[in-house]
Chains A and B, each alone.
Chain A
């Protein structure tokens, strides 16, 4: 390869790297003000691919000079656009003010995700066809595959770089400035002019980025929230913000309120509910309450060992100084802070525990949903010692249950009741549930629990009472067992037990129903869409047909067929990748910093696939497409086998096949017109990816669950396979 060819490949590599890093940063920044669920991840991904599609689609043929200018433009604009989007996402909260404590509607969030993502990714699509065209002078029909390979390799590198280095040491501004400096270096080589001094400016920005970032973040926070920001930290899991209001400190993770300290009065009810059930139980696991009053009060009981689970150790470090200011007692030796995911811990542990208390936030995303599934409840039941009790909570109701809320609660309650048919249930806006594996462990009713608690209090109004909370009496617990509320809940849930699917890891119904409920609550225009989500599939199908018709009209039948095949592949690849992300979340919890790793390894597979298909003519398109459903089938099989160790292997194997499709198809569909073919394939590949991202999060997963989604993808691969026989490769 000549020096010019190597330069082209280097640019492709760098753009792939920059794209991977930019994508994951945008996901994190947008999630922080878009409620952080997978629906928004899907929307961000589809917006990302839409930008690429548009960049590739609106890329007319031109002279060498014009093509070089497009590449140069993309090199400069990409990092700048990333910085604008990241800080635009902050600025929008000031420019489009909302009532403090409210979210934008889902519709607005989707529009904002699109507005902040597509313009950036446009330049990822915009540079590709010209680069292929430039490369084709030397590489002929292999140009498409070679550029695709270099770009994928760069994406792999970017994902790894971010996962293992940048996530811990750099903020978005520093990364954008760093990328800009490298871009200027490339441009300097491409245009043959000395632009390197210009790179000093972004390097200065890298140095100042910490201060700028902190000032911007703090200023925006203080204008848009109720209190003053007293600490903020980007951990590898989330952006932690600690805010002070009056005598309280509130802790936010990715912009979502997690808990407030001190919560002396808030924690009374749940503490007494748990304390009444403790009865000498000594080993207790606690997750989800925050390190406030419940933890402090439990530490004053006879528990011999209290394990508090906090997945993000940096969050504990960020909050603990404030906790210490409010709860003067030092952490006793019996407290063990476990920096691990509770589910993961229970899966790996052989131990058994007297009480497991799980009080996570509502299942706003898959990561939280996994604490409300039958699989989780079964795991907890398995880890209870003889006579052990499992305590958890559901988000209840005030006085009436609407249809959407009924469905939402029923999916979780049914899952819980299936594992713990003998359980105790409270009433109220938070419903506490206590379950035991054996008969006779739990009192028969709330009244019996209250009586039991009265007996436990030898000095009503005395020492015990004063130490725990001020002014408590067991009679107060009656507020947690309001008869008409309990009767109403029972009567509403009874018929739903037969009609609503229980919430499961592989069919995360509660998560989806929470989104529907949120859209209903907001009066969002999206509510009709998310409730009638099957229609989205029809809309996407119509749009895809229009795009294919456009290709047929402009480029002929051969490229129409190629467009269909690559569209299917793009859809399947992103759909399965999202499934893999969800599978990973189910197994390991917080996924954010691993998204880039999953992305990187996916890109590695693409790289290897495209490399193999570029180098080896015998890697025929039909064979690759035939293997695609087989690989998806292996992923499907792994959900039964629970083969977590095979996760990364399956991911790479699957993406290898996805990566092999593009070069094979490029060679088959018309390498004689490189710009045209690259434009069609790149555009349709990303259009397929848009469809895959949207349909997977909004239609496939809610209706079919994880296994159903994989099965459907296997089916979608078949027509593409059949069509592939119409191509004649050299």
Chain B
């Protein structure tokens, strides 16, 4: 009798179940709406390309081995970068040739100060990033899913053609994190080299050393944003880790490619003299004193909207510390017209490149050497 009663549905239970059903239907509808993006219909998307640097796990899961996040993805999942997806047990990139931003920038804007001064770079970006820095300048690209952005298809061969058409002899993979465009950059940089166009990346360096070296071999220069020199900063502000970045920097530098380092100095968060000193010391010991370091000025950005710009005196102090630690070319950045944006020969101390903003560059270097004392200046000058 009791069991029978349980099987009967009273009005309250009926209403409850009906309500739950409606909710489930609504959620299902929402889910279906979400899955209506092109990636739920495998194979239809012309930006879809099999990814590199991953391995299969059991049960249709995969592990991405491109960056230190090491995302383990079940079927249909995306990585933390938003642009690598497990589709039926295989990993795909969603941003191959999917260019959301393309501009012609002075190379100094990247900034590269020892790489073809005065050149312009055809600068391109897709969506996604493997970090989530609260101060990201390009958060609208880096923190977005690719399908949420307007984009055009520029294939690897088209890219160098487009660069040449706008008079750029350099392609820069920039704005969002190039690591997430791994497959595209490998192909596009190889194609560019065939056409005599150089390729550079502006990266956070948060990539596994093997992948970083693979990428760097096809490039001509690498700029790394070293966000800070503490694990705490990387963890709480960027959602990443410092150690893998340092490992990758050493690995990439060992390939012999030109490297410059940018440190965005944010008041309170990463501007302590001790931290800057440890950082500069690490660069000198593990990379080279010839690697230029740019200490750039922070401006309110993305989630850090209510912080004043870095005092110029702080940047000058960072530069002085780096110089004391033996870095030959420490710069102050994002301060147009500051004297430490100029290049001074490490041999004789005279000014050899005068800069005022990105567009005013007077390059005195001749044959890769100082015109005054003939000291060879590290960099790529022609």
Contacts and interface: CB of A to CB of B under 8 A. Distances in A.
Interface of A: 99-103, 226-227, 243, 245-248, 250, 255-257, 260, 264-266, 268-269, 397-403, 405, 429, 469-473, 475-476, 478-479, 482-485, 488, 521-523
Given A101-B300, A226-B308, A265-B335, A398 B137 contact: yes
Contacts of A226: 267-268, 307-308
A484 B359 contact: no
B100 A400 contact: yes
B337 A476 contact: yes
B334 to A, nearest CB: 9
Interface stretch (B139-147, B179-187, B189-197, B242-250): B139-147
A268 B357 CA distance: 11
A247 B335 contact: no
A545 to B, nearest CB: 16
Given A99-B134, A100-B267, A400-B125, 10 more contacts: A102-B303, A102-B306, A226-B307, A227-B308, A246-B267, A265-B312, A401-B140, A476-B337, A478-B359, A483-B104
B337 A99 contact: no
A342 to B, nearest CB: 24
Interface string B155-172: 000000000001000000
B36 interface: no
Interface of B: 100-105, 123, 125, 134, 137-141, 143-144, 148-149, 166, 175, 236-237, 266-269, 297, 299-300, 302-309, 311-314, 335-339, 356-360
A contact face: mostly helix, strand, loop, or mixed: loop
A400 B336 contact: no
A250 B139 CA distance: 26
17 contacts: A99-B237, A226-B268, A246-B311, A247-B312, A248-B313, A260-B309, A397-B140, A400-B101, A402-B144, A405-B140, A469-B337, A476-B359, A478-B360, A484-B166, A485-B103, A521-B302, A523-B143
A408 to B, nearest CB: 12
A246 B314 contact: yes
The 7 lowest CB-CB distance pairs between A and B, nearest first, are A101-B307, A246-B311, A478-B359, A476-B357, A101-B304, A250-B308, A226-B268
B306 A268 contact: no
B362 to A, nearest CB: 10
Nearest to B141: A400
Contacts of B297: 265
Given A101-B300, A226-B307, A247-B312, A479 B141 contact: no
Contacts, number: 141
Given A245-B267, A400-B175, A472-B337, A521 B101 contact: no
A402 B151 CA distance: 11
A523 B134 CA distance: 11
A547 B197 CA distance: 70
Given A472-B337, A479-B358, A100 B269 contact: yes
A99 B236 contact: yes
A247 B316 CA distance: 11
Contacts of A260: 308-309
Contacts of A472: 337, 356
A488 B314 CA distance: 35
Contacts of A269: 336
B152 to A, nearest CB: 12
Contacts of B336: 265, 268-269, 476, 479
Contacts of A401: 140
Nearest to A259: B308
Nearest to A483: B104
B141 A399 contact: yes
Contacts of B313: 246-248
Contacts of B143: 523
Nearest to A260: B308
A521 B139 contact: yes
Given A257-B307, A265-B336, A269-B336, A99 B140 contact: no
Contacts of B105: 482
A569 B140 CA distance: 43
Nearest to B127: A400
Contacts of B300: 101, 257
B303 A522 contact: yes
Contacts of A475: 356-357, 359-360
B357 A470 contact: no
A30 to B, nearest CB: 16
A397 B125 CA distance: 15
A488 B103 contact: yes
Nearest to B144: A402
A399 B360 contact: no
